[in-house]
Amino acid sequence: MKARTKFQHQVVAANGRLLPITEKQTEWAFRHTVKHYAFRAPSGQTTCLDCGHRWNETKAKHCTCPNCNAKLILKDTLCRKADEKSYFSVITTQDGFQVQRIFRINVYYRKGENAWTSVYEIARYWLDENGKTALTALQRTMGRYLDSFLYGSGLELRNDNYVYQHIADCYVCPNYTVLPKLRRNGLKGTFADIAPQKLMKALLSDSRVETILKNGRKQDLKHLIDNPRDLDFCWPSYKIVLRRKYRITDMGIWVDYLRMLGRCGKDLHNAHYVCPADLKAEHDKFQNKVRILQEQEKRKEQMKRARENEVRFRELKGKFFGLEFTDGTIVVRVLDSVEAYYDEGNALHHCVGQCEYYLKPNTLVFSARIEDKRVETVELSLETFKVLQSRGVCNQSTEYHDRIIKLVSKNVSLIRKRMVA
């Protein structure tokens, strides 16, 4: 890609002036970014793949080479070779730019020989003092593998994509160099598993990130940089957290908790809610409240839809309205509105309303009560005139179950008369 803007021309010029990495940096990458092995034969003879030294080892999983002092993973195998690869970054500056240089190191182990390495520079992220970014990188080949690069293509201006972003989130060589503005904004020590390019860009362009970093909240910052919408949403509340010196045990749960507080109409500027003593317990409590709200909204939507079906319901069941019979104790009456179906279902905790029994053309639903207390809900077939089901609270039968069925069956003639009227 050709340079078109002044910024890109400056990047291209600086790109050609970067020096190769040092042997010390390569050695650090070899020691800290790849696995190191010792192969043990059935005889017990163990070989360090770093330096080729042989000795007898009795430990189970890990050991230390007595020759080069390397910490090794012990493998019982007859294999004679192994290969490892990893990505690492060198953070430096050049011509007023902050640069993240991304390298791939390949390590080749051969039994009885010294390990040897090859290092290739894959990409460079360039940032100016305002957080503006450019990428110079090797060209990628066609294919689905992440590390399929044309190693002879040269580090040229490229469009950024998920592959370069993925490999940029890697090990960082210590003793890095940063721009004075980044140092002023609090960048020092480790990157705390935050992708360096993302952290440096955020620090140069967003003062909120500087505030969080200077308060020593690197784990919180990792979540907020990876989820920038969460930062926009929770920032007013997070300032309260900083003032109160409250420690968030799980940033993801805390952000979800804030969203549920807002859903329940709570004040997100109130420290009583924003800084709970037991985050998980409060999260679970408001999760239940939100679930109840959702159920209420769902019922309201069902009721709205049900009212739209009121005309159809009256066409189907209007002839039975007012039908009622009793044995002196139990009173059985027809449910005469859609709302009555939902009230019945909510009171007895069953689905006569939600499952829209009021639109079933060949059945009739009654409410059996004793002194206006609901006992059971009865469904009668208008084809066979037999009771299909009679349900009490939570679909259970009550002590009046048989009496109710007998009472309905005894008065089937009244229902027949309504049908022919």
In sequence order, the 6+-apart residues with CB closer than 8 A to the CB of 217 are 242
Q: What is the DSSP string of 172-216?
A: E-SS----HHHHHTT--S--TT--HHHHHHHHHH-HHHHHHHHTT
Task: Kindly tell me if the per-residue pLDDT of 420 is higher than 80.
Answer: no
- Spell out a b/e string for 256-270, using b for 16 or more CB atoms within 10 Å of the CB, else e: ebbebbeeeebeeee
The pLDDT of residue 305 is above 90: no
pLDDT band at 421 (very low <50, low <70, confident <90, very high): low
Q: Pick from 229, 269, 359, 351: which is nearest to 305 by CA?
A: 359
Average pLDDT over residues 278-284: 95
| Residue 362 contacts residue 388 (beta carbons within 8 Å) | no
The tens digit of pLDDT for each residue in 351-408 reads 988 888 988 989 999 999 998 899 999 999 998 999 999 999 999 999 999 999 999 9
Length of the chain: 421
pLDDT exceeds 90 at position 238: yes
R_g of the chain computed on alpha carbons? 36
User: Average pLDDT, whole number, for the chain?
Assistant: 92
Query: Residues 55, 63: contact at Cβ < 8 Å?
Result: no
CA-based nearest residue to 350, from 342, 340, 358: 342
Beta strand pairing status for 37-40 and 71-76?
parallel
**Residues 202-222: pLDDT tens digits?**
999 999 999 999 999 999 999
The strand pair at 331-334 and 156-157 is best described as: unpaired
d(CA 147, CA 120): 11
- pLDDT at residue 135 tops 70: yes
pLDDT score, position 374:
94
- Collapsing DSSP states into helix, strand and coil, what is residue 150? strand
- What is the reported pTM? 0.73
What is the predicted pLDDT for the residue at 199?
A: 94
